[in-house]
Amino acid sequence: MSKIYDTIIIGGGPAGLTAGLYSGRAKLDTLIIEKNIPGGQITVTNEIVNYPGIIETSGSKYGETLKQQAINFGVSFAQDEVVDMDLSGDIKTIKTKNGSYQTYSVIIATGASPRKLGFPGEKEYEGRGVAFCATCDGEFFTDMDVFVIGAGFAAAEEAIFLTKFARKVIVIAREPEFTCAKSIAEKVLAHPKIEVRFNTEILEATGDIQLRKAKFINNVTKEVTKFEAANGESFGIFIFVGYAPQSQLFKDHITIDNFGFIPTDENLMTNIPGVFAAGDIRPKKLRQLVTAVSDGAEASFNSEKYVIEIKEKLGVEKEVCEADKVSTVEEKTSEFLDSNLKAQLSEIAKRFEKSIELVVIKNNDQFSMDLKNSIKEISSVSEKIKFSSYNLGENPALEEKIFLKNTPTVAILDSEGAFSGIKYSTIPGGHELNSFILAMYNVAGPGQTLSEEVLNKIFNIKTPTDIKIGISLNCTKCPDTVQSAQRIAIENSNIQVEVIDVFNFKEFKNKYDIMSVPALVVEDKVYFGSKNIEEVLNILSK
């Protein structure tokens, strides 16, 4: 009989992680499925100052802490994407790209994604000046003018954050005043680098390869104003106008209201017994971190009661079972590898079917030494991970074999010493550590499973293709694109992928006018935004 979880949580934001740690603490066999980095939208928030009991923290640090708490209570994680489900019976089935899971209860915590306005130029200049994540893309606009569209908490908070980089921040608010807490509104209004224009809306954004001009209208006086960047300069437009619920996946399985939210009863249960919803996916008046974690705790509490009842009904006794899958590696920012992380990597390496080799090609600089030391530390966790390092020019044959273009870089070789098609021209830390670990696992085998349909699409690529992915280690959206592209490269020797830190390789950044990450470069054409494996394959088939 296949494993049946007590509860499966779909979504790894604050609501989902809180539900997980409460379920784990209640000794429920719990799995959290998250397609991106655990932490959700909170990870792109630079500053949290209004959560009770916490004076100040960053969104990414808070998300890491929540995840570690869940891990400490025995919660399992799967970095995967849910594609379908069967919620009709007492035992429910959740289908993902990489397999299926069974469970007695489900907690939906998929949250919401940033809304777009639809003005002319918004889509055309996304990644070329139009952005939706200040934490990911703010640094691209150093010493430039930046517009922030919105009047709520996110707009106010991110406007303040952007002053760290921008020459000037102009807030465009269609409302006559801020809709967030008065304290943060006053902070924005008093900031010397911020100008606020109320009763104003954006009409269009235009330019060439980058943004050069924008038009705005006062919705009271109807006066139209124009902004034009100084000669040779560009500027940024950051949009923070709310979030759209991520509920389309569930529309044929549970009740969804006219606005796309999932209604629940007082126990946070949907119209389907055993299926709960928590966080921003629910209709509510206040969408804040504090309400998300509250929902997560309450959903877990009610799910526990449901699981006890359903197990009694089915005559099921409590089982003890270890999850047989690769855990998502816990990321740490305080040090590259702590003892907990080393232990996790060692366990993953035990499942390698073959050995691999990590080869560093370095310059004579500090960045090269940091890369060498980090890769050497990773290789130290297992005899199945070999390590070697060469100065640039010391091993020309190897440089030719891995198609060396940038240094320092680290390439992954297979057990026969052949190039796997994967290079990282960055220290694979931050949000990219999981991607690097998954790359090693996939090269060594058994690797993540792929459907026959996807494999056929990969094998049908006959043209040698060089993929470059511009990333930053602060980007929460980059790993999905990196993992998708490198999975294709491992299966098809015609494909090679190089992951490049745009802030350490500015020639690459400037060559492709990259002002947002991830930036997928194929045949000198740039594609911005997070991409799954099907989306990458569609680009490669053009």
Tens-digit pLDDT profile for residues 314-342: 888 654 444 334 444 433 333 566 777 78
Tens-digit pLDDT profile for residues 127-145: 889 998 887 788 899 999 9
Question: At the topology level of CATH, where does 339-540 sit?
Answer: Glutaredoxin (3.40.30)
Q: Which CATH superfamily is domain 4-113+243-314 in?
A: FAD/NAD(P)-binding domain (3.50.50.60)
Tens-digit pLDDT profile for residues 84-135: 999 999 999 999 988 899 999 999 999 987 889 999 999 999 888 999 888 7
Question: What pLDDT shows up at residue 475?
Answer: 81
Tens-digit pLDDT profile for residues 413-461: 999 999 999 999 999 987 788 899 999 999 999 988 888 999 999 999 9
Closest by Cα among 115, 114, 109 to 14 = 109
Tens-digit pLDDT profile for residues 188-245: 999 999 999 999 999 999 999 889 999 999 999 999 999 999 888 999 999 999 878 9
Beta-bridge mates of residue 356: 385
Q: 339-540: same fold as 4-113+243-314? A: no
Confidence label for 184 from pLDDT (cuts 50, 70 and 90): very high
| pLDDT of 374 over the 80 cut | yes
What are the sequence ranges of the domains in the chain?
A: 4-113+243-314, 130-239, 339-540
Tens-digit pLDDT profile for residues 275-319: 999 999 998 877 778 899 999 999 999 999 999 999 988 888 654
Q: Please provide the average confidence, as pLDDT, over all residues in the chain.
A: 90
In percent, the amount of the chain with pLDDT more than 90 equals 70
16: Cβ contacts below 8 Å, ≥ 6 apart: 9, 10, 32, 34, 40, 107, 109, 278, 279, 296
In percent, the amount of the chain with pLDDT more than 70 equals 94
Closest by Cα among 428, 430, 425, 444 to 474 = 430
Task: Report d(CA 220, CA 454) in Å as an integer.
Answer: 53
User: What's the CATH number for 130-239?
Assistant: 3.50.50.60
195: Cβ contacts below 8 Å, ≥ 6 apart: 168, 169, 170, 171
H or E stretch covering 147:
strand 145-149
